[in-house]
Structure 1
Amino acid sequence: MSGIQNLQTYDPFTEASSESGNRQEAVIHIRIQQRNGRKTLTTVSGISDAYDKKKLVKVFKKEFACNGTVVEHPEHGEVIQLQGDKRNSICEFLLQINLAKKSQLKVHGF
């Protein structure tokens, strides 16, 4: 038992790197949906298929302290849903990890 296997660091964004750096070219839409009462959902659509959305959700959940999931939308394809109004946090995070440029992020809502 001399070698412990689980001590390597893991970056969920490394496997999605492409020739154009770590950025995608399409527009990412960040929307808010009203549920019942004061409850809201934040949806993120338009993320490239080169990125594993389930791993992104896992990072979002840990970073923003909320629950989230990936759902299949008939019009937009796979969409990330997060509980609460996380529009500004998601924008800042996507820019911080160099996933998208400022011009690629479209925030919709109230």
Structure 2
Amino acid sequence: MTISSLSVRRLLSGSAVTSTNPYNPDPFAEAEDNQPDTKKGAQDYIHIRIQQRNGRKTLTTVQGLPKKFDQKKILKVIKKKFACNGTIVNDTEMGEVIQLQGDQRKDVQEFLVDKKEGLELDAKTIK
């Protein structure tokens, strides 16, 4: 059995498919392990967004609140404090999302950071 000079040159030059683990058939397995997990980082932030409806009507959405808080109680306090209506919507990606009528972005942010009447969250986690 003879090995052709072309195949020997390919092996020596490194152009043949090589893997760090000869037992792992997936050459991209190592690259996938080194990538940062973006889902964990995305869950750390609380997103307060505004959505335009008909004409001048708007919706404020609050996503990513920590699970330790009861969202129904938070919604009840926000509705009473800011004189607006709201609901909790189940989203497939973000979980439970609080929807409020009107532009309540600034009020909700102050409520989440407030140490007396609010949730005492860090202002850096709110976007």
The question of a shared fold, defined as TM-score above 0.5 by the shorter chain, is answered with yes
CA RMSD in angstroms, aligned pairs only:
1.3
Query: Relative to total residues, which structure has the larger strand share, 1 or 2?
Result: 1
Q: How many residues align?
A: 82
User: Bigger relative contact order, structure 1 or 2, given CA contacts below 8 A and separation 6+?
Assistant: 1
Counterpart for residue 67 of structure 1 = 85
| Identical residues among aligned pairs (%) | 57
Runs of 4+ in 1 over 2 A off after TM superposition: none
TM-score by length of structure 2 reads 0.62
Counterpart for residue 80 of structure 1 = 98
- SS, match of residue 41 in structure 1: strand
Shift of 1:42: 0.2
Counterpart for residue 126 of structure 2 = 105
Counterpart for residue 45 of structure 2 = 27
- SS, match of residue 93 in structure 2: coil
Distance in 2 (CA, whole Å) between partners of 1:45 and 1:61 is 16
Shift of 1:98: 4.0
| Larger CA Rg, structure 1 vs 2 | 2
Could you tell me which runs of 5 or more consecutive residues in structure 1 were left unpaired when the two chains were aligned: 1-24
TM-score by length of structure 1 reads 0.71
Counterpart for residue 42 of structure 1 = 60
Shift of 1:64: 0.4
